[in-house]
Amino acid sequence: MMDELNEMKTKVTKMEQQENVCIGQFAKHLARIDEMEAQINELKEMQKGTLPTCSQSVAEQKRHRFKIYVKMMNGRTLTLSDLLPSNTIEEIKTKIERIEGILIDHQRLLFAERRLNDSHTLKDCNIINGSTIHLFQRACGC
């Protein structure tokens, strides 16, 4: 996968030189390739089990922090930042409750068409930096 990304970068650079194409257009594509490389590296770390632990320094843990988006039923999108793969779904719901005032018991979170279990971590659910989860509100039953 990394070889393919490097090859793609090389091709883009050659095309710029040969065709005298606008560098700005390709800069966007190169930035996206760099983002993909970062995500691939993060996934590799997850597979190796080298994500931050309590014994690692704060600086090391900050490297692994990321943000996710929460798409709400009203069409708004909430951004949750400074998250770790070890955060639980219940912790995510607590953040949503603090920001939006929606009680934890009334929240239903879905990712990849699956309902998320409160005791699972973001890592367990394969949620990575930039992922979007969906929030559905349960009727209060009043």
**What burial class does residue 70 get, using C-beta atoms within 10 Å of its C-beta: 0-12 exposed, 13-18 middle, 19+ buried?**
buried
Q: Is 7 helix (H, G, I), strand (E, B) or coil?
A: helix
Tell me: pLDDT of 87 over 70: yes
Q: Pairing between strand 132-137 and 66-72?
A: parallel
Which CATH number does the domain 58-137 belong to among 2.102.10.10, 1.10.287.130, 3.40.50.2300, 3.10.20.90? 3.10.20.90
Stated pTM of the model: 0.56
How much is the pLDDT for 25? 58
How much is the pLDDT for 86? 92
Q: Is 66 helix (H, G, I), strand (E, B) or coil?
A: strand
Percent of the chain with pLDDT over 90: 46
Residue ranges per structural domain of the chain = 2-48, 58-137
Task: Give the model confidence (pLDDT) of 23-50 as tens digits.
Answer: 555 566 666 776 777 777 777 766 665 5
What's the mean per-residue pLDDT of the chain?
79
CA distance 136 to 76: 12
